[in-house]
Structure 1
Amino acid sequence: MHRQGPYFNRSNVSTSASCQGSQCLFAFYGGETSYHRHLFLLQLSNLLLCLWLINFSLALEQCTLAGTFASYYWARRKPQDIPPCPLFSSFSRALRYHTGSLAFGALILSVAQLVRIILEYVEQRLKGVNNVVSRFLLHCLQCCFWCLEKFIRYMNRNAYIMVAIYGKNFCTSAREAFFLLMRNVFLDRVTDFLLFLGKALIAGGVGVVAFFLFTKKIPVFQEEVPILNYYWVPLLTVVLGAFLIAHAFFSVYAMCVDTLFLCFCKETDVLIQRDRDVLRLSDFPTLRDIPTQFQRDVPTQRNINRETALN
């Protein structure tokens, strides 16, 4: 006689039976490998690559804009000497010749940002610790690396401008830009202040219009505007949004101002080094002083001589 063993199906096994005190825990896949032991380092590597890619994209944008504005500045005859597509020409030069310099500058900035993120992570882990000395040292390190990041970001921006103009390597361009700015630091800060005033003026103007609109002091829109108990909430939102939009547009103008400013400082240094008696910018720069990529169709003979400049 054949004995038939027990069998189970959906009819005699309840899948909804509760198990007291049971829980599901995840251990790992495939055992404890080198991947699991170095998982934190791999995550830091991914974060560093992400920061590097973002900073490289911003560096490429800044170098492209700087090359575009520099082509306008160094053009002897405007607009004849300006390339037909200055933005595309500058972008192609940046990709073809300056990729290494941009990547190196972006890497330096990314490392500083990564250290700041690690310090923020350590601060979160030490929130329950009452060690005053360790927290003080941590805050000091955060402050130092915050200042370092701001300095590197500022130097990278000006180094990219010099790279776009003269095509030199990153370190040489950063050194030349640093000494140029140190000799003209007052004018550089004045331009930044004027750009900030422009953004504040736009945000303030939009805020004034929004205030009169939300308080129903504009007769044309009195019936269309609903009654607001807390009108300052949308008012602050509008002002903040206007400032951010103005900042996005003014960043292009800021790059233009910085590029033209460095070009002017470089040209002025050339004039001073030559001990010229007459500093007339219409006579300069000469052909050999113009960056190589901007020497297209530049006349070698000056139509204005020294006697004409004196007049």
Structure 2
Amino acid sequence: NRGGRGFACNSLLCPCHLQAPVNSSCQGLTCVFKGYSTTGLAQRSLFNLQIYGVLGLFWTVNWVLALGQCVLAGAFASFYWAFHKPRDIPTFPLSSAFIRTLRYHTGSLAFGALILTLVQIARVILEYIDHKLRGSQNPVARCIICCFKCCLWCLEKFIKFLNRNAYIMIAIYGKNFCVSAKNAFMLLMRNVLRVVVLDKVTDLLLFFGKLLVVGGVGVLSFFFFSGRIKGTFENPDLNYYWLPIMTSIMGAYVIASGFFSVFGMCVDTLFLCFLEDLERNDGSQQRPYYMPKGLMKILGKKNEAPTGAKNRKK
């Protein structure tokens, strides 16, 4: 009501329609606007709900990644610890590892994913604080924030490395996360030189593999979309062909990263099994090596022949 004058109301949302026809005039109508962010329990707790949503998102993503790593580790470990290969290898190692992981190791994977999630949430909060303080001219505060960011980045990398090896030990022995993480860390520290060499060599090979795949796809897509490849198929006539080329390169990088991550998990699992095999066994008849014969030949190891085979040789 402005200046004592009413105005026509034709909206179905007007409360006067409960008592008057649609085309009637609403005398003394007052419009009241309610803010949805100020009333109600859910509206007052909106910020907390957003934090819970982000925490749940990070936790779910990390748990799914942990599940994939543990399933792959179980499948590769079943290959290594088969004494007579391929006779003792399970028929469906990947399916068996998936069912076994969901049945026995879900809680351990969730606990490891939670530890990593807390560190990632701390990094997000620190990035938010850094964004708010970006306009300040205090160099001491900037230096402290950078130090904290560096420390949290190193901590996240270390937890990812520890979780990865803990999931391998979980897949091998079936123990809980804390015991598996401790055993994996102590095993790696006892063979730290081998760990460093294998890690650097593996990273280099994976980098060259990704570079080869992405570079090959980029070159082929450039010649194809630019019309330099002539064949029985029809070349697309594009005015700006760099966009599909960059899309092809990005897609190739994502696919190559997924493929080589499986290869990297295979290398880490077999390497951890190899270290465990060296410490548990000595090649005797009571404790024979489980490693393949080619690897035993490289390391100069061999298993003792059974007593019956020795007598036959004599």
Deviations 1:21-65 (A, max 9, x none): x884516224xx6x6665534432332233222212221121111
The 5-angstrom pairing of residues 239-258 of structure 1 reads 239-258=249-268
Equivalent in the alignment of 2:25: 13
Q: CA deviation at 1:222?
A: 8.7
Q: Root-mean-square deviation (CA), in Å?
A: 3.4
The answer to whether structure 1 residue 284 and structure 2 residue 273 are counterparts is: no
Q: Structure 1: where are the runs of 5+ without partners?
A: 1-6, 287-300
Task: Report the Cα distance in structure 2 between the residues aligned to 1:304 and 1:66, rounded to whole angstroms.
Answer: 35
The answer to whether structure 1 residue 218 and structure 2 residue 229 are counterparts is: yes
Equivalent in the alignment of 1:194: 205
The answer to whether structure 1 residue 134 and structure 2 residue 141 are counterparts is: yes
Equivalent in the alignment of 1:292: none
Q: Structure 2: where are the runs of 5+ without partners?
A: 1-18, 292-303
Deviations 1:189-239 (A, max 9, x none): 2122212211211111111111222332222169623154x4333322212
The 5-angstrom pairing of residues 1-311 of structure 1 reads 9-13=21-25, 24=33, 26=35, 28-30=38-40, 39-182=46-189, 183=191, 184=194, 185-220=196-231, 224-228=235-239, 230-271=240-281, 283-285=288-290, 303=306
Deviations 1:78-124 (A, max 9, x none): 22211222222212222232223212111100100111111122233
Task: Report the Cα distance in structure 1 between the residues aligned to 2:217 and 2:110, rounded to whole angstroms.
Answer: 39
| Alignment: residue pair count | 274
Summarize the Cα distance change of 1:44–1:11 in structure 2 as closer, same or farther, 3 Å threshold. Answer: closer
Q: CA deviation at 1:252?
A: 1.7
Summarize the Cα distance change of 1:305–1:190 in structure 2 as closer, same or farther, 3 Å threshold. Answer: farther
Q: Which has the higher contact order (CA 8 A, sep 6+)?
A: 1
SS of the equivalent of 2:231 reads helix
Equivalent residue letter for 1:52: W
- Identity over aligned pairs, percent: 50
SS of the equivalent of 1:109 reads helix
SS of the equivalent of 2:25 reads coil
- With the length of structure 2 as denominator, give the TM-score of the two structures: 0.74
Q: CA deviation at 1:148?
A: 1.2
Task: Report the Cα distance in structure 1 between the residues aligned to 2:104 and 2:241, rounded to whole angstroms.
Answer: 53
Equivalent residues of 1:283, 1:302 under 8 A apart:
no
Equivalent residues of 2:73, 2:269 under 8 A apart:
yes
Task: Report the Cα distance in structure 2 between the residues aligned to 1:57 and 1:188, rounded to whole angstroms.
Answer: 24
Task: Report the Cα distance in structure 1 between the residues aligned to 2:32 and 2:147, rounded to whole angstroms.
Answer: 44
Equivalent residue letter for 1:214: F
Task: Report the Cα distance in structure 1 between the residues aligned to 2:117 and 2:60, rounded to whole angstroms.
Answer: 9
Summarize the Cα distance change of 1:13–1:255 in structure 2 as closer, same or farther, 3 Å threshold. Answer: same
- With the length of structure 1 as denominator, give the TM-score of the two structures: 0.75
Equivalent residue letter for 1:163: I
Equivalent residues of 1:98, 1:167 under 8 A apart:
yes
